[in-house]
Structures are given as structure tokens and as C-alpha cells.
Amino acid sequence: MDISVVVPLYNEAESLPELTDWISRVMESHNFSHEIILVDDGSDDNSWEVIEKLKSENPHINGIKFRRNYGKSAALNVAFEASHGKVVITMDADLQDSPDEIPELHRRITEEKLDLVSGWKKKRHDPITKTLPTKLFNAVTRSMSGIRNLHDFNCGLKAYRREVVKSIEVYGEMHRYIPVIAKWAGFKNIGEQVVEHRARKYGKTKFGFSRFVNGFLDLLSIFFVGKFAKRPMHFFGTMGVLSFMGGLGITIWLITDKLIDIAHNVKYRNVTDQPLFYIALVAIIVGFQLFLTGFIAELVSRNAPERNAYQIEKTI
């Protein structure tokens, strides 16, 4: 199969017939063998009834329904597992992503040998209260992830080589960082494509301002897990040693300063009378705790069943 189109959705009953019809027209005009996977993320409207009707009319449509709302990441992860296409394309169900972009996305994956192509909605139909935080958010993500060529990490319109979606796991709210997850998994051929951003035709957005706060926390989480998951002592141990040695150094300096004052018959203050001593004491305790945390995390990591799970691309 050439293409799997994955569409996570939540309360998008009005847009589904138009979207699936549009996707089917594009596929047929380019002679792509395909499937359309609609994932109903616990909608409380009649989205599932619409999917069932569409399935009866179009054998290329497959539906997955969650019992409750788990979030976009869960929907994508389940759909990735169920997909069969050599190229997997994700898009939102609100008609803000254009299916006309699919052929070019497919071409770039197959001909340019890219692992992932992320859409960039260069011209957006969103208020400044949404676009400004998004730009800041993307700038921070570029800086922390090292993926300098992407402008819009959270664009729902993306294309993947089959091996990518079968090798990564998307959970929590990590769908914003799939390019980062793919990079940590060893898929570094990541490209970008300017895509059309259409104004929402039906309903209203399901995302609020809280997604920016949660998104930043998720970024810190994925950065730590991606870099230190198999060697947590390198992080906690380093921070612990620096804190411990800093506190110990300050303590030694305070004691030495007091002894010098005593030797020269100069008035001195007791070490315990100086606020700096208590700062040093806290640094020593925190450093010791961080080191122990790293040691325990290392024991957990070494006993985890996936401790030697690595991404192998080829064998001969």
C-alpha cells in the first residue's frame, strides 16, 4: 500500500464527509493505493456514526473509537500501529489542512529519501494570541532539539516513512515533538514543506492556552528522556557532584578563613554564625541526594526489560 492517511478527531462530525471525499479524490487522481484511518478520540457528538456511514460507502476508510478522550498523542500512536502504508500522512480533521498537499509530501518521502516531512503553515489564519506564543514555542524547541530547519513543530500535516512510525512511541502530549522523538530514534533526515493553512470551516478549536505550558513541560521531559534515559547517572551524578563540591569548597574556605584570622589574632566570626555556611550545607545535602537519585535511577534503568533495546536499521 502506498499511503496511510491518519486523521485523529474529536467532535468533528460536520467536517468528516467533506474531508474524506477530498482525500479520496486526491488519491484516485494520482492512482495511490491507500487507506484512511479515522481515530475518534472519545467524541461526544455523532462523529462515530458518521464514520460508520462513511465506512459503508468507502472501503478504504477504517475507524478506531476510544471509549473516552485520551488525547491526540494516543490517537496517533494507535493509528501508527494500525497503518499499512509505505508512507504515513497525518492531518487534522478540521479542514484546516489541505489533502492537495499529499502528493508532494509523498514525493519528498519516496524520491528525496526523507524520513519525515513536517508542514509549515507560513501564513496562518489564527489570532495573534495564538501565533505569537507558537513562534516563541517553536524557537525554544529548535534551540533545545537542535533541529534548526523546522519552523512549525506542531503542524498536524506531516509525512513519515513507514519505518519511522513503527519505531517510535507517542504518548502523553508528545505529538508536538514527533520530529524530536524521531531524531532521538535515529531518523535524522527531516525536511519541511510550506503548506496551506485554511480557515476553520466548522466548529471551534479544541485547544486552549494551557497547551503552551504543558508543551514546555513535555519538551523538558522528552529532552531528558531522549538524552539520559539509558544513563541517568550522567545527569544526576554530574549535578550532584557539582553541588556537593561547591558546598564543600565553601565550607573549607570558611574554616580556612577562620583559622587564618585566629593565627593573626584578628577578630573572627564562628563558621556557624555565617549565612554562607548554611547555603553550603544545603548544597552538600542536595548534591548527595542528587547523586543517590542518579544511582537509584541507574539501577532501575539497568534492570528495565528494554535496557538493551536499540534501533537497528540494517544487518547483512
Instruction: Give me the residue spans of the domains in the chain.
Output: 3-227, 232-303
Beta partners for residue 88, in sequence order: 4, 160
pLDDT in tens, 205-228: 655 556 666 667 777 776 777 677
Q: Which residues contact 47 (CB under 8 A, 6 or more apart)?
A: 9, 10, 11, 12, 13, 16, 40
Residue-level pLDDT at 126: 64
Using pLDDT thresholds of 50, 70 and 90, give the confidence band for residue 263.
confident
Residue-level pLDDT at 221: 74
Max Cα–Cα distance, the chain, nearest Å: 98
Using pLDDT thresholds of 50, 70 and 90, give the confidence band for residue 175.
confident
- pTM for this entry: 0.74
Residue-level pLDDT at 295: 87
Q: For domain 3-227, say whether CATH 3.90.550.10 is its number.
A: yes
49-58, 112-121, 221-230: least confidently modelled range? 221-230
Q: Which residues contact 171 (CB under 8 A, 6 or more apart)?
A: 73, 74, 77
% of the chain with per-residue pLDDT over 90: 55
Contact 144, 219 (CB under 8 A): yes
